[in-house]
Amino acid sequence: MENNQLTKINSFTRRNFSEDEIYIFDVILCDNEIDRDAERFSHNSLLSLQKLFIGKTGISDHNPKSENQLARIFDTQLIKDNSRLTSWGEPYEYLKASVYMIRTDANKDLIAEIEGGIKKEVSISCLAQKKKCSVCGCDKDTAVCSHMKGRMYSGKLCHTVLDDVTDAENILECGIDIHVQPPGKKLQNMSLLSGGEKAFTAIALLFAILKINPSPFCVLDEIFIYNFKLCSKLCFHY
């Protein structure tokens, strides 16, 4: 362990810890490659996340309870690998985080699993103010885009570029991005729908959740004010 690492770690602690009390490991938080959701981070977003993730706590199983708060990020580094190109033809770059844990009897098995390469995958959550189409460059939250992410256009995969990142969050505190295709209309972000369409989308989502995870009873206050006939049919079918 380098001296500057221990200094950075002790800037987060209530007392100074020695090198023997600390376990350090590195993880890759994110990169500029297109993921399985057909999204990627821009270079500027990675630069922003490099600062935002310092001091963030690592949790297990996406559960922020105190017993699941296991580690803390004390340093980050944005690394560019010019020998490797992404699927869209740019040099590969990734955000590496240096993480520390306090050695205890309770986490010695976890440390052994990390050392053995068993525990090595992480997931992150952040707030991106702009979500640009890779084909036309329009912001999908503020404009209608006819390009469908995941489809090929002129030999290139259409994907969403996440830009203008303003916050790094726990996954349980992040928002939900909903894209909807009302009858006779194009697929678009829910924020672009009319008030009535937003209401029906919310109602449809509610019944979809209830179908997967049924409840013994539920109270739907004033749900019929939007469309009595349609809502009656939904409730009867449920």
pTM for the whole structure: 0.68
Q: Which of the 8 DSSP states describes residue 219? A: -
Residue 120 pLDDT class (50, 70, 90 cuts): confident
CA distance 115 to 101: 13
Say which residue, 155 or 190, is predicted with more confidence. 155
Report whether pLDDT(92) > 50.
yes
| Cross-sheet strand order for the sheet of 160-169 | 39-41, 160-169, 125-133
Q: Which helix (H) or strand (E) element contains residue 80?
A: strand 69-85
- pLDDT tens digit sequence for 3-51: 799 999 999 999 999 999 999 999 999 999 999 888 999 999 999 999 9
With cut-offs at 50, 70 and 90, classify the pLDDT of residue 213: confident
